[in-house]
């Protein structure tokens, strides 16, 4: 009797939350890794860890790491593996990463990939990474990067060629003049593509060879790309 009354008052178990583990979003600068990552963040409640954002926060805050990184970033080159790996190691200690996280812009070299594989191998209970690579052609990337504008207040993003604001260079939501990242020029883009082709393209091949890898066509409408990325993650974890 007593046990059936306890059962009658037991809370209904919540559906198990999806815990996707570590997800890598790979692709050249401007393929839309950040935008897709944000969609996964809101769908699954796991954090996006963007090494570019972490570095920019350090630059903005004038930290010693930011001072070292600033000139390198402005030239479109890569910050050293040691600095970036250490920054990621610190971020992965935060408790919000326990169900999984999306790494956006990391690893960008084979050295970083090896470090990550070892770090996760040595982390008890961690799932192995899964990797989704987003593909976009060079010319499309150039327009995406050189046209990118951001509202410094509400962080809305625009593209003067592909998704312009209603009034030139002003945010639709709050009228603030839009800003451009200092590394979003054609010259810096070309340097970033050189860095991508020589250092990061081999990382894509590394994860393709390991398996648990899928490639998605990034030249479709944003919602279609996001849906494909999500389906790829679900397949890779099934
Ligand atoms: P992103 O916002 O990901 O395009 O990164 C902007 C810049 O930050 C890059 O051009 C690099 O200078 C630097 N950066 C970001 N992530 C990394 C990384 N994983 N390794 C080295 N440098 C990075």
**What DSSP string describes 73-137?**
HHTT-PPPHHHHHHHHHHHHTSGGGTTEEEEES---SHHHHHHHHHHHHTSTTPPPPEEEEEE--
pLDDT at 10 over 90: no
Cross-strand pairs, 24: 103, 131
Judged by DSSP in three states, 208 sits in helix
43-65 average pLDDT score: 94
pLDDT, residue 124, reads 87
Is residue 32 lining ligand 1, measured as CB closer than 6 Å? no
Is 143 noted as a catalytic residue in this protein?
A: no
Ordered alpha helix ranges (H), the chain: 2-9, 33-44, 51-60, 64-74, 81-92, 110-121, 138-146, 186-195, 201-210, 222-236
pLDDT, residue 125, reads 85
Per-residue confidence at 152, pLDDT binned at 50, 70, 90? very high
pLDDT tens column, 114-144: 999 999 999 888 899 999 999 999 999 999 9
Least confident range of 32-41, 56-65, 96-105, 177-186: 32-41
Quote the ligand 1 centre to 50 CA distance (angstroms): 9
8-15 average pLDDT score: 49
Tell me which of 181, 208, 212, 237 is the catalytic residue.
181
* Smallest CA separation from ligand 1 atom 1, residue: 52
Is 108 noted as a catalytic residue in this protein?
A: yes
52-64 average pLDDT score: 94
Is residue 29 lining ligand 1, measured as CB closer than 6 Å? yes
Is residue 226 lining ligand 1, measured as CB closer than 6 Å? no
Ligand 1 atom with the smallest distance to the CA of 188 is: 10
Specify whether the CB–CB gap between 110 and 206 falls below 8 A.
yes
Is 56 noted as a catalytic residue in this protein?
A: no
Give, for 29, the enclosing helix (H) or strand (E): none
154-176 average pLDDT score: 95
47-58 average pLDDT score: 95
Return the percentage of the chain with pLDDT > 70, whole number: 93
62-88 average pLDDT score: 94
* Smallest CA separation from ligand 1 atom 14, residue: 52
Tell me which of 56, 91, 108, 144 is the catalytic residue.
108
102-119 average pLDDT score: 96
């Amino acid at each position: 009797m007593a046990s059936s009354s306890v059962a009658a008052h037991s809370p209904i178990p919540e559906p198990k939350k999806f815990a996707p583990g570590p997800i890598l979003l790979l692709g050249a600068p401007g393929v839309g890794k950040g935008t897709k990552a944000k969609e996964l963040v809101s769908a699954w409640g796991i954090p996006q860890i963007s090494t570019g954002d972490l570095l920019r926060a350090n630059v903005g805050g004038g930290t010693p790491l930011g001072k070292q990184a600033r000139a390198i970033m402005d030239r479109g080159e890569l910050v050293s593996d040691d600095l970036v790996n250490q920054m990621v190691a610190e971020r992965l200690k935060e408790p919000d990463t326990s169900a999984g996280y999306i790494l956006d812009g990391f690893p960008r070299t084979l050295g970083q990939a090896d470090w990550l594989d070892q770090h996760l191998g040595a982390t008890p209970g961690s799932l192995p990474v899964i990797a989704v690579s987003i593909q976009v052609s060079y010319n499309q990337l150039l327009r995406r990067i050189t046209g990118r504008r951001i509202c410094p207040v509400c962080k809305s993003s625009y593209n003067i060629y592909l998704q312009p604001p209603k009034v030139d260079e002003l945010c639709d939501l709050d009228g603030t003049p839009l800003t451009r990242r200092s590394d979003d020029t054609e010259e810096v883009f070309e340097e970033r593509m050189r860095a991508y082709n020589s250092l990061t393209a081999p990382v894509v091949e590394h994860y393709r060879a390991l398996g648990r890898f899928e490639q998605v066509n990034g030249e479709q409408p944003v919602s279609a790309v996001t849906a494909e990325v999500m389906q790829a993650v679900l397949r890779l974890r099934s």
